[in-house]
Chains A and B, each alone.
Chain A
Amino acid sequence: AQSVTQLDSQVPVFEEAPVELRCNYSSSVSVYLFWYVQYPNQGLQLLLKYLSGSTLVKGINGFEAEFNKSQTSFHLRKPSVHISDTAEYFCAVSPSGGSYIPTFGRGTSLIVHP
């Protein structure tokens, strides 16, 4: 079984400032890692994923994340946020085989102020 902990329920930040959303996971098997974004009243959109290879993963909208196996973390970063980045962000982990069913964290609400 896998579990995901998103350490911050809400992260306020000013426009053009950098941001980091934290995610830690636990699993007894090899995993894939994901970050999704959800805008109000919409479904989830995949921002980026780590399957294998380079531990620094780049995604859409200027986001990136780094897989740290020793710390079991997969933190999401953006060097300069925009108002339009205001949304809910979910970290997820899935087994690296079988059904690939993801387990999601509780989410972090990113609030970008002008």
Chain B
Amino acid sequence: EDQVTQSPEALRLQEGESSSLNCSYTVSGLRGLFWYRQDPGKGPEFLFTLYSAGEEKEKERLKATLTKKESFLHITAPKPEDSATYLCAVQAWNRDDKIIFGKGTRLHILP
């Protein structure tokens, strides 16, 4: 069964303290892995799509990487406005376009 597990569930950092969020996945043939940011009461905002192991993408203070079993979202020198829930999702080949989400990591950046 396709599965996505995110860790930690919650993370508190001081402003400027870099860290990484983890997304472990089990799928039979990865078509794409996605990262989203979600603010309270809002819909998820798309950040990145990664397609193959070794791929990396960056946006401002965020950098996403992908291996054959997991993805990391690295946050460099975070600011309070980076506080949000970060969601990881995967789509597998031959799964009729289903996108499966992890439970997310709640990130809180203290000023």
Tell whether A and B belong to one assembly.
no
User: Which of B's residues lie within 8 Å of A, judged by CB?
Assistant: none
User: Which of A's residues lie within 8 Å of B, judged by CB?
Assistant: none
